Structure 1
Amino acid sequence: MLKGVLIDWGGVLTVGLSQAVAEWIVDERLDATHYRQVMNELISHAYEGSGNGENAIHALERGEMSGLDFERHLADRLVTTDGVPPEAEGLLSRMFSRFHRVEPMYEMLRAVRAAGLRTCLLSNSWANEYPREGWDDVFDEVVISGEIGMRKPEPRIFEHALGRIGLAGEECVFVDDIETNIEAARRLGIVGVHHREPDLTIAELERLLRIPLR
């Protein structure tokens, strides 16, 4: 029987990554094609293991690189439609301001806790400020990569989260919008749910947990 839910933040408890970033690209007046080339290279290296060694995203998500240093690193690689780099300072804050919360997902977590299950936020941070208002109502524990020096998809961060809520992998379900992270969780016996949109995820959790969540 499943007794706990581990869940990501950005793109799961917020609007989708593509939507948030698309709004930010327009407001920053970035060259969208160039941005996607740069980020596809960084993300595929960080999450899919393409390339050798580690890059700035590994360091940022573990808290080994400051947000400002990453902003400078990223801004140097990007270009606006005017042909110049964007303003580095505050780049990440401006991007994360578009990650608006999705209320049905929070309502689902309240229902999960009301049913007696444990909940844990498990999020890779980009030195961003999380909107924590009301978190005590939906999370038993909070695990944020930059605060503990681990990141998804490293097995140790899942093990750390499981220890925080006192459950085994087989007793938990993990919800994330990145398949690589889900695959890592499954290797530890955790049930994985690939989040694409709220209604589908909530329906799948109702099926797995065997409780009404709406």
Structure 2
Amino acid sequence: MFSDSSTHDRIKAVIFDIGGVVVQSPFIAISQYEREHGLPANYINVALSKRGADGAFQRYERGEIGHDAFLDQWTDELNEVAENNAAYRRYLERRKLDVHMVLPQSTQINGGVLFAHMMEVAKTPNTCVVELIKWLRHSGYRVAALTNNFKSDATSGRMRDELFSTLFDEFVESTVVGLRKPDPRFYMHVCNKLEVRPTETVFLDDIGANLRAADRLGMSAVHVEIGREDEAVETVKKIVRARGIHAPKL
């Protein structure tokens, strides 16, 4: 998916999500956990998002709670069967899916095990995206990361130091800023650091709500789908070819 709100301003910068874009998606781990524990597809994702900005996961990404408190609260939220089932039924109805699906009557979702698996999956770079970032910087474009992350994740910190230290002009983290996607203020923060207008940027993410927020600000939003990262790379190249400040031959 590609959404271009502005066809007038020249592209000066490209902004990348990390998990699911620059590295493999933690949703791979979530899907595997659902299959292994007999949960319907996207059940955990619905449980994760149903609390909006006030859930344990979202608060952890803003740096408002510590790691242990997050795991305890998130595990409790994931195992609120009645509320999660109601949210999942609404999810099925919105998408006109099988509303007669048999939902779990009880769950024993281990938030600690699930989170560890998610972080393990996210250690693996998406090579084609990393190469795109290197090419963009070499071609004179400003490049930034805009990531919802976790302050106390030592593995993530090491990965950033080893993989990302030379990749980005700016590395903007939810736990440092105290904001997270899809809050428009978070997008404006990275634009200010890059000294560009939103309409002068391309934004890559794997989550629809984050892409819609970027689109509303006038960014050229590119959806990165699991297993189709190379298609997103080609979309960015097409945008840069058409609207880039250099419009190089690719």
Segments of 4+ moved more than 4 angstroms: none
- Give the whole-Å Cα distance in 2 for the aligned partners of 1:85 and 1:41: 11
Deviation readout 1:7-38 (Å, 9 max, x if unpaired): 10111112234323344x28xx9634179534
For residue 120 of structure 2, what is the aligned residue in structure 1? 97
CA contact (8 A) 1:170 1:191 kept: yes
Deviation readout 1:123-152 (Å, 9 max, x if unpaired): 111443421113233200001101110000
Summarize the alignment of residues 17-166 of structure 1 with structure 2, pairs less than 5 Å apart: 17-23=26-32, 25=33, 31-33=37-39, 36-46=42-52, 54-77=54-77, 86=110, 88=112, 92-99=115-122, 100-127=124-151, 128=153, 129-130=155-156, 131-132=159-160, 133-166=162-195
Aligned with 2:15 (options 3, 6, 12): 6
Which residue identity lines up with residue 18 of structure 2 in the other structure?
W
What's the % identity of the aligned pairs? 28
CA contact (8 A) 2:202 2:220 kept: yes
Structure 1 residue runs of 5 or longer lacking an equivalent are 47-52
- Give the whole-Å Cα distance in 1 for the aligned partners of 2:17 and 2:249: 21
Alignment size in residue pairs: 200
For residue 16 of structure 1, what is the aligned residue in structure 2? 25
- Give the whole-Å Cα distance in 2 for the aligned partners of 1:159 and 1:139: 17
CA spacing shift, 1:7–1:75, aligned 2, 3 Å:
same
Which residue identity lines up with residue 114 of structure 1 in the other structure?
H
Which residue identity lines up with residue 86 of structure 1 in the other structure?
N
Q: Shift in Å at residue 118 of structure 1?
A: 0.3
- Give the whole-Å Cα distance in 1 for the aligned partners of 2:69 and 2:40: 21
Q: TM-score, structure 2 length as denominator? A: 0.71
CA contact (8 A) 1:124 1:145 kept: yes
CA contact (8 A) 1:4 1:172 kept: yes
For residue 204 of structure 1, what is the aligned residue in structure 2? 235
Larger displacement relative to structure 2 (124-133 or 143-152): 124-133
